[in-house]
Amino acid sequence: MCLVSLVILCDFSVFRDEQVLFLNRFQIILTMEKIEIIAYSDIYKDAFKSLNYEWIEKYFYVEPTDELVLNNPEEVVIRTGGHIFFARLNDEIVGTFALLKIDDFTFEFAKMAVSVKFQNRGIGKMLLNLAIVKAKELNAQRLVLYTNTALEAAVNLYLKKGFRVIPKDDFHNNRANVKMELEINQDKLFSSHIFFENPELVRINIGGFMQCSGLD
């Protein structure tokens, strides 16, 4: 099994000048498979719920705070200034995440889920990377998340991406025993590592409006 690591260096002035949402048009082409990142639409509401129920019920139990978000994603996330994105592979939704707006400078990375059938392909890492890109595009200064120490792989991933554990002085839900924060530096280029088990990652196509170095 081989892991491929690519580094994307993107100038975010392009996003501000063009006033485009980079994630809406981000496509990863992987040999015969194409993973697309698409923005929230009501037709994907059930996928957002089912993907999250799948992992929550596997390790914990669904709580009222989960139900509030998963049953009302447009009202709770989108209309309050947040965003939801999905990873689509061969017309099937295989992953998702949400960015909930806390204030003008802070977003929460939440409800990240990858279908059991498509795990261990690096999709979760990709979604986290793209969440950081999106937060940067939104001029956020901080990205926070809540997790549980039992989810060791997830916690290690967050630590590798630069998140640090901070005091948890608020109630999120019963399973969240850790709060983490990533400080976002708007003055630097974003370096995104995307890991795949397939060694034949061909190219990354970002909608034709921006060039990324080292990929051709």
pLDDT at 137: 92
More confident site: 17 or 74: 74
pLDDT at 172: 85
Whether 11 has a pLDDT exceeding 60, the answer reads no
Q: Could you tell me which of 83, 113, 87, 98 has the C-alpha nearest to residue 33?
A: 87
Query: Helix 152-160 and helix 123-137: axis angle, to 10°?
Result: 40
pLDDT-wise least confident of 80-89, 112-121, 194-203: 194-203
Whether 189 has a pLDDT exceeding 70, the answer reads no
**Per-residue pLDDT reduced to its tens digit, 129-164:** 999 999 999 999 999 999 999 999 999 999 999 999
State percent of the chain over pLDDT 90: 63
State percent of the chain over pLDDT 70: 70
The pLDDT confidence band at residue 58, using thresholds 50, 70 and 90, is very high
pLDDT at 187: 61
Residue type, 40: Y
Residue type, 54: E
Please report, to the nearest 10 degrees, the dihedral formed by the alpha carbons of residues 190, 105, 153, 89 taken in order: -70
More confident site: 170 or 207: 170
Q: Report the chain's mean pLDDT, rounded to a whole number.
A: 77
Q: Kindly report the pTM of this predicted structure.
A: 0.75
Beta strand 201-206 with 190-196: parallel, antiparallel or unpaired?
Answer: unpaired
Distance CA 48, CA 96 (A): 7
- Phi (first) and psi of residue 201, to 5 degrees: -70, 115
**Per-residue pLDDT reduced to its tens digit, 86-132:** 999 988 999 999 999 999 999 999 999 999 999 988 899 999 999 99
Whether 213 has a pLDDT exceeding 90, the answer reads no
Whether 43 has a pLDDT exceeding 80, the answer reads yes
The pLDDT confidence band at residue 171, using thresholds 50, 70 and 90, is confident
